[in-house]
Each structure stands twice: as structure tokens, then as C-alpha cells.
Amino acid sequence: MTQTYKEQYRPQFHFSPEEKWMNDPNGMVFFNDEYHLLYQYHPFGTTWGPMHWGHAVSKDLIHWEHLPIALYPDEIGAIFSGSAVVDWKNTTGFFEKDQPGLVAIYTSAGTYPDSDRPLQQQSLAYSKDNGRTWVKFKGNPVLSDVNITDYRDPKVFWHEETNKWVMVLATGQTITIYTSYNLKEWEFASEFGHTAGSHDGVWECPDLFKLPVVGGQEKWVMIVSIGDNGQSAEGSRTQYFIGQFDGSTFVNDHDDSTILWLDFGRDNYAGVSWSDIQDGRRIYLGWMSNWRYANQVPTEAWRSAMTLPRELSLATTEAGIRLFQIPVAEVSKIRKGTESYQKISVETGNGVSIPLAHSLMEITIEFEKESSSQFGLIIRHSEEEKTVIGYNAVEEKLFVDRTQSGEHSFSTSFAAVQEAPLKLEDQRLKLQLFLDTSSIEVFANNGEAAITSLIFPSETGQELILFSNEGTTNMLELNVTELDSIWSK
């Protein structure tokens, strides 16, 4: 019998459940020096089924301790996605006087009596013991709307300026905002998004938070995931909006036709940020899969993993203010030895080969374009398998080509070239790559663009090949760092 966390394709430095099915990250909150990760979990199968909330905790966002299931389905319904907060002021009255505690806000997913019509309502649970046990509120559900079928995924935060709790809720093709003084009684505040952004699928898993812009002002960011409608090539994706928020209404800075994608890979969905982090960072985590093929990926004992946690920031680019993302600094905890290479000129037809001695890697590389139309690197997994990470200088696009990365017969949508618009900086391109057993995450130019992609090679990597087409490219610096497994102990 294969040992847990030793199976083929099992991620070694990304979070995955011990067994069975996982999807959206939920209830992400920091409290008493622990990061809590709750998640959509089906403990009885490796495909989507009746949802529970799985649970894990971490001291460093990298190494995780599995805890027992936090929330089970009940007479109101299954436990769909939601969030968790620290009730610092005991606004709920759930806790002892002047003692804070954790409150989870989630969607109870059931059906109407004598009908198969879905009924989605918002409910509460609370914990007095650092999330080890949870008590459901006797007054559940706390928020319902019989006129809306898709009514789910509450993300809640405390808005200091108005002294209220704010909930952003996915409501079909919009995000509805509610406010509350005590998390139990909610008032409608506003609705956003009827004609804004992409409406290729149902809107899900919203988030709303404030970020400083590098160099000055502050903006609010709204994240919205878009379900797979079966028509678009990309499947499920995640978009974001930048604007202003006054405690009740979000105003988009862009016109409705502007679509901003959070990640240009196929495999970063339903991501949200941690609540109550005290060091000023906004840290995001996504589900590393896609509804187009999530139930078919070639893993057996378990299905799905999360992305690396990422620190979000806003910066001004030629196109305007945009969301940047980089892996959290804590990834340094799994770095081992590094091999470095300097200043290699790469000519057309003369690829430069560099052997890869490790299966888990971080690769940082900087290119300088001279005259080439396309350049990049190839990770050769085996004689027949390779993943290409490159830059098309003519079209100004970063790309990850997984059409020959390994197993892809489980879905006609999987083999793909994933592209992100990106301009060079002074003719230079900086890449940071994280290669796990069944994924690659690419961050370009300090996080201006990200491509997250599953891959299923028979081996992780044997050789790295630098290439340049129709001209010369200079490789200025390359670092290949071995990474440790977070499950090794």
C-alpha cells in the first residue's frame, strides 16, 4: 500500500488533504499565533459530494497540521463556502466578557421543503477553544433570500470606520453587500456588478479588502471567482476589481468593460484572503484546480491541492494600478541548497542545457532580450514530456505550455498554452518558478503576472533548457534551489 503523501502526483510543498476530495479554501483566519485553513471537504469520496469543512492549522503558512472535521452537514443543509473572523469585541455575545473568539460564517446548502430547488442560506458557528471544536448558532440561518438561488460564499470583515461587520455575498451574477452590528442580524447595503467585468459564469467566492498602492494612496480590491459555464476555453477563473468602498457601497474605478484577471493559468480558483493577520500583510490562497476537470484529474487517494500562499499588493503599471502577487516570505523555510549560473548568451538553434538534480525546485531567472522574438526555458521531465515557460516578444505575452507536460487524456481541455499579457522592463524579464510533483507556479516581474498550472509528468524534472528563437537572448542570472517536502516529518 502506498504511504500517504508518497503517492504519484502528490504535492510535496502545497497543502492537500490526507485523503478524499477538497475544493475551496474557507474560514481562513489568524488567531493566537495560528493560521487556520478550513476548506470544502467530502470525506466519503474523491469527487465532489456533500460538503463538510475540513480543517488544518499552521504556524508558518507552509507546514500544516491536520485537525478533525470542523463542520458537518445538518438539517439545514451541507456546509458550503464561507469565512471566519475573530470577534474581538464579542459583538455576538458568544464568548465570555472581554474575551475574543472565532466565528465562522458559511452557507447552509439545502433544498426547499417538498422541492428539489436549491435553498442557500447563511449560518454561524463559533469556537471558544482556538477552533478545535465548533458550536452552531441555535438561531441559524441568519440570512436568507427566497428570490435568489445562487446565494452563497459569505466573506465577512470588520469595517472600522463605520463600526460594523460587512459581508460580501455571491448572488448569481452580482455581489451583494450586507452590514451588521453583531453578525446575527444583517441589513442590505448595496449590490455590485450587474454589468461589470466578466459574466462568463456564475459569480462565486468574493472577497473585499483595502490595500495601499506603492507610493501613496489606498484602494479597495474586490475578488470574484467565475464558475465554469462549459463554453469558455479557460473554464473557471478569478477576476478582480479596484475601487472605493465607504462601508456600504463599492464603486469600481474602471468602466464596466474592463476585465482584470487575477491569474492567467487554468488552476487558481475560489481564492480568498486570511482574516485578522496582524503584521499588515494581505495573504491570499487559491484552490489549485479547475471545475472543467477537477473531478477527473489522475489522482486516486485524494483530489486537489491549494496554491502557495501569496502576499498581495497594488502597484502602478503602464496600464494603471494592478494587483501584484508573490509567494509569502515563509517559503524560505523549505529552501535547501542553491546552484547558480551567470551570464549565458543563448542563440537561435543552440539551446543551453542545465541538468536538474532535484524533484522539488524553486527557479529564479532573469533574461535580457537582444534580438529574439521568443525566449525562455524548457523543463524536460522525460524523453517525451516537457513544460515550456516562455515569452513572446512580438505579442508581449508570457506563456506556459503544458501540451506535452505529461498525462492529459482525462480532459480535452487540459492540454493548453496559457498566456498572460506582460511588457518587458528595460528589455528584461524576471521569473520566479515553483515546481512541485504536479504543478508549476510562475510569477513574472516581481508578481505583475502569475500563471498557475497543474501538470502530471511521470517525473518532475531531468533537465532545464534555455532557448531563444529568431535572435539572441542573454540569461543574466539563474538560481535553482532545492525545496524540502513539508510532509517529510
pLDDT score of 298: 97
Q: Residue 459 pLDDT > 90, yes or no?
A: no
Q: Residue 2 pLDDT > 80, yes or no?
A: no
pLDDT score of 232: 85
pLDDT score of 214: 84
Q: What is the pLDDT of residues 126-180, one digit of tens each?
A: 999 999 999 999 999 999 998 999 999 999 999 999 999 999 999 999 999 999 9
What percent of the chain lies above the pLDDT cut of 90? 93
419 in helix, strand or coil?
Answer: strand
pLDDT score of 425: 94
Q: With contact defined as beta carbons under 8 Å apart, do 331 and 308 qualify? A: yes
Lay out the sheet containing 174-180: strands in order across: 151-159, 164-171, 174-180, 187-192
Task: Go through 437-454 and write b for each residue having 16 or more CB atoms within 10 A of its CB, e for each that does not.
Answer: bbbbbbbbbebbbbbbbb
Q: With contact defined as beta carbons under 8 Å apart, do 134 and 125 qualify? A: yes
* Domains contained in the chain, CATH given: 20-329 (2.115.10.20), 335-483 (2.60.120.560)
Q: With contact defined as beta carbons under 8 Å apart, do 85 and 338 qualify? A: no
Among 12-16, 40-44, 106-110, 211-215, the minimum mean pLDDT is found in 211-215
Q: What is the pLDDT of residues 369-424, one digit of tens each?
A: 999 999 999 999 999 999 999 999 999 999 999 999 999 999 999 999 999 999 99
Please confirm, yes or no, whether 256 is among the known catalytic residues. Answer: no
Round to whole Å and give the CA distance between 228 and 270: 12
DSSP 420-480: EE---BTTEEEEEEEEETTEEEEEETTTTEEEEEE---SSS-SEEEEEEESS-EEEEEEEE
Q: Are strands 187-192 and 463-469 parallel, antiparallel or unpaired?
A: unpaired
Q: With contact defined as beta carbons under 8 Å apart, do 450 and 263 qualify? A: yes
Mean pLDDT in the chain?
Answer: 96
Q: What is the pLDDT of residues 239-277, one digit of tens each?
A: 999 999 999 999 999 999 999 999 999 999 999 999 999
Q: What pTM does this model have?
A: 0.97
Q: What is the pLDDT of residues 177-197, one digit of tens each?
A: 999 999 999 999 999 999 999
Cell of 369: 532580450
Nearest to 266 by CA among 232, 222, 299: 232
pLDDT score of 317: 95
Radius of gyration of the chain (CA): 22
Angle CA 441–443–444, to nearest 5:
145
Residue 326 vs residues 136, 285, 306, 367: alpha-carbon distances, Å: 36, 11, 15, 19
Q: With contact defined as beta carbons under 8 Å apart, do 241 and 262 qualify? A: no
Q: How many residues does the chain have?
A: 489
Q: What is the pLDDT of residues 409-444, one digit of tens each?
A: 999 999 999 999 999 999 999 999 999 999 999 999
Q: With contact defined as beta carbons under 8 Å apart, do 306 and 56 qualify? A: no
pLDDT score of 1: 37
Residue 462 vs residues 19, 354, 441, 454, 458: alpha-carbon distances, Å: 29, 9, 18, 18, 11
pLDDT score of 489: 67
